[in-house]
């Protein structure tokens, strides 16, 4: 009798093991930008997700919009979930490159409405902040106008090099345009303002480069992602951050049209945007959660480094405007840059 129960339990356990193993065959390809961000995404989302569902998450990257488009066009889509910039998410949706999300699987009731659309849902949100190397600058610069004040705060400036939301807006804000009048963007005015420091600008293309520029003193201040500055401060580098007029940007998670593991991808998105997933990710990176439930789960020490805390100083960028006018802005941008 006793033996039978034990045997039954063993058989049941074996069956369960067999079942989970069966699930383990299922997998999704997760694509992000690499580096510490993707490491955090792996730790906060992929590992617990695999533990919970048995679906294996294969990490790929870095995100490459050209590759994404080529895959969709060829019909051979190897990526299931892609971390993209928010303006690209809107643009790609318009070009028909994305699968609509299934909100019966993904719960969007607690998601900040700024960070969800029919074709994409926030990965995290962050701010462009003004940060400076305290070894190179005396005083406390605040607000974007300090960036253009090379007399008081000498040294080179680091700005984000892609024609995407951020640089144009901060130039206009520094030039005295009020937040409510930002859009439609007055490009000529922005370029004119940028012209005043053009020779002092060093353009950065990725997070690691931006950190290296500021940490080594190559630049004295600039426009940076808040999470990357947090990492520098953790490392003991004397970096000051001004949250005044911090510009809110976000990354979206999208599913390319024709993705092979669409259902598993939806389940992954449901987990990554859950309160727990978002809170875990925030703890690792100091990027803010897009799930409103997560805020209470984050330690107080960390909150000091998070955009959420500086909500009053936030300037929200108009991603839809950028999705619409991005290519035209890029054209004038390139023309100005190479002049």
Partner 1 sequence: MLLSQGSMGWKLKSSLYVITGAIAAFLALPIFFIVALSFGSSRWLVFPPPKWTLKWYEKFFENPQWIDSAMTSLQVALLTSVIATLIALPASFALVRGKFKGRDYLYSLFTLPMIVPVVIIAVAVYGVFLNLGLTGTLFAFVVSHVIVALPFAVISIINSLRLFDKSIEDAAVICGAHRLQAIFKVTFPSIKPGIFAGALFAFLVSWDEVVISVMMASPELQTLPVKMWSTLRQDLTPVIAVASTLLIFLSLIIMVMAGLARRYSNR
Partner 2 sequence: MYMTLSRKKWREGTLLIPILLFLCVFFLIPLAGLLLRSLTEPSFGLQNFEQLLATSTYVQVLSNTFLVATLVTVISLVLGFPLAWCITLMPNGWGRWLLGVILLSMWTSLLARTYSWLVLLQTSGVINKTLMAIGIIDEPITMVHNLTGVIIGMSYIMIPFVVLPLQACMSAIDPMVLQAASICGAPARTVFFRIFLPLCKPGLFSGALMVFVMSLGYYVTPALLGGVENMMLPEFIVQQIQTFLNWGLASASAALLIILTIVMFYFYLKVQTDSPVSTNTGA
Residues that bind partner 2 (CB under 8 A): 64-67, 69, 95, 156, 161-163, 202-203, 216-218, 327, 330-331, 334-335, 337-339
The first and second tokens of residue 262, run together, are 């669409």
334: partner contacted, choices partner 1, partner 2, none (Cβ within 5-8 A by kind): partner 2
Residues forming a β-bridge with 119: none
The first and second tokens of residue 271, run together, are 């987990």
Is the CB of 47 or the CB of 74 nearer to partner 1? 74
User: Which residue in the set 137, 197, 202, 208 belongs to the binding site for partner 1 (CB under 8 A)?
Assistant: 208
Interface map 213-252 toward partner 1 (x if CB under 8 A): --xx------------------x-x---------------
Is the CB of 62 or the CB of 327 nearer to partner 1? 62
DSSP structure class, residue 206: S
Is the CB of 215 or the CB of 297 nearer to partner 1? 215
Nearest to 62 by CA among 45, 39, 87: 39
Is the CB of 103 or the CB of 203 nearer to partner 2? 203
Nearest to 249 by CA among 275, 225, 280: 225
Look at the alpha carbons of 298, 292, 273, 305 in this order and tell me if their dihedral is positive or negative: negative
76: partner contacted, choices partner 1, partner 2, none (Cβ within 5-8 A by kind): partner 1
Minimum CB separation from partner 2 for residue 121, in Å?
Answer: 22
Minimum CB separation from partner 2 for residue 66, in Å?
Answer: 4
CB environment 198-218: b (16+ within 10 A), e (fewer): eebbebbeebebbbebbbeeb
Binding residues among 51-80 for partner 1 as defined by CB under 8 A? 58-62, 67, 70-71, 74-76, 78
Is the CB of 42 or the CB of 161 nearer to partner 2? 161
Is the CB of 159 or the CB of 317 nearer to partner 1? 159
Is the CB of 44 or the CB of 89 nearer to partner 2? 89
The first and second tokens of residue 217, run together, are 């003193």
Minimum CB separation from partner 1 for residue 258, in Å?
Answer: 13
54: partner contacted, choices partner 1, partner 2, none (Cβ within 5-8 A by kind): none
Look at the alpha carbons of 319, 320, 321, 325 in this order and tell me if their dihedral is positive or negative: positive
Residue 272's Cβ-side half-sphere holds a number of Cα atoms within 13 Å equal to 28
* 265 and 254 Cβ atoms separated by less than 8 Å: no
CA dist 170 to 68, 178, 221, Å? 30, 11, 14
Minimum CB separation from partner 2 for residue 337, in Å?
Answer: 6
Select the span of 27-35, 118-126, 292-300, 317-325 touching partner 1 (CB under 8 A): 27-35
The first and second tokens of residue 249, run together, are 């940007």
**154 binds partner 1 per the rule CB under 8 A:** no
Is the CB of 110 or the CB of 332 nearer to partner 2? 332
* 125 and 249 Cβ atoms separated by less than 8 Å: yes
* 63 and 83 Cβ atoms separated by less than 8 Å: yes
Nearest to 81 by CA among 290, 271, 280, 326: 271
Axis crossing angle, helix 86-94 with helix 319-337, rounded to the nearest 10: 100
Contacting residues toward partner 1, per CB under 8 A:
29, 33-36, 38, 58-62, 67, 70-71, 74-76, 78, 205-209, 211-212, 215-216, 235, 237
């Amino acid at each position: 009798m006793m033996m039978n129960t034990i045997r039954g339990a063993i058989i049941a356990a074996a069956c369960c093991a067999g079942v989970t193993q069966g699930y383990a065959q299922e997998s999704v390809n997760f694509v992000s930008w690499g580096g510490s961000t993707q490491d955090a995404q792996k730790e906060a989302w992929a590992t617990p997700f695999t533990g919970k569902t048995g679906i294996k998450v294969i990490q790929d990257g870095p995100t490459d919009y050209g590759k994404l488009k080529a895959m969709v066009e060829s019909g051979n889509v190897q990526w299931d979930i892609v971390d993209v910039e928010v303006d690209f998410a809107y643009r790609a949706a318009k070009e028909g490159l994305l699968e609509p999300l299934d909100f019966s699987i993904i719960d969007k009731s607690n998601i900040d409405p700024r960070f969800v659309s029919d074709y994409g849902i926030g990965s995290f949100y962050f701010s462009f902040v003004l940060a400076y190397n305290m070894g190179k600058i005396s005083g406390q610069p605040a607000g974007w106008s300090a960036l253009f004040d090379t007399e008081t705060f000498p040294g080179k400036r680091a700005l984000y090099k892609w024609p995407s939301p951020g640089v144009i807006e901060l130039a206009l804000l520094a030039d005295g345009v009020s937040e409510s009048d930002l859009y439609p963007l007055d490009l000529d005015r922005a370029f004119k303002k940028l012209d005043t420091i053009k020779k002092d600008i060093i353009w950065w293309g990725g997070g690691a480069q931006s950190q290296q520029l500021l940490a080594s003193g190559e630049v004295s201040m600039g426009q940076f992602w808040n999470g990357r500055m947090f990492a520098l401060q953790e490392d003991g580098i004397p970096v000051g951050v001004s949250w005044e007029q911090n510009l809110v940007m976000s990354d979206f998670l999208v599913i390319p049209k024709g993705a092979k593991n669409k259902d598993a991808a939806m389940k992954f998105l449901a987990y990554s945007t859950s309160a727990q997933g978002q809170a875990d990710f925030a703890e690792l990176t100091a990027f803010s959660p897009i799930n409103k439930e997560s805020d209470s789960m984050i330690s107080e020490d960390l909150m000091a480094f998070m955009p959420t805390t500086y909500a009053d100083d936030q300037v929200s960028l108009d991603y839809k405007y950028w999705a619409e006018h991005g290519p035209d802005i890029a054209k004038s941008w390139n023309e100005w840059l190479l002049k």
